Structure 1
Amino acid sequence: AHIQEMEVEHLNRRNAQRGRPPVEPIYRLQDAVACMTLFRALEYGEWTTVAEGLRARFWNAADERGRAEIIRRMRRALDTGGSST
């Protein structure tokens, strides 16, 4: 959020020089702080429900950077009669 606020500040200085209207950041630091209560810690491999019909888990990406990826499992639309993918 801080980076976005700084980039918008820089953009607005340029916009002012060019006679363009100022823009607002998509979100601010206080927005980011306010959403922190929505986060919860998960263990690697632990499935969590993100939304109805959508589950996800963190999994090792098995590369040299040590990053993780999110594996998702979605319930297919009822009209297909399929299983989770």
Structure 2
Amino acid sequence: MASSNCCDIEGKKVFAQQGREVGVVVGLDVDLDEFKVRSFELKLRRESLEDLNMKVPLMGTKTMHLDVQHISAIGDTVLLSISIEKLAVIGNES
């Protein structure tokens, strides 16, 4: 099994289940007591905000936190195991 630095995921593009790019990883939430990554911070593409039923800010974009359980694969990109519709529900709950 190949190992990698946890920071290697930062900056990777994130794609929803249907292959639509939704954003980029900008941070990780690490449980230091258990040495586990619990969630990651996703900087959403401005173009994705409308699909996620989120208000588009005047400048910049929004971020959201997703549990690592929603990741199906990590390679050159991060693939989510959830649809853009489910991502919208999660994003609007937080």
TM class, shorter-length: 0.3 to 0.5
* Greater RCO (CA < 8 Å, at least 6 residues apart): 2
Largest Rg, 1 or 2: 1
TM-score (norm 1): 0.35
Instruction: From the two aligned structures, give the one with the greater strand fraction.
Output: 2
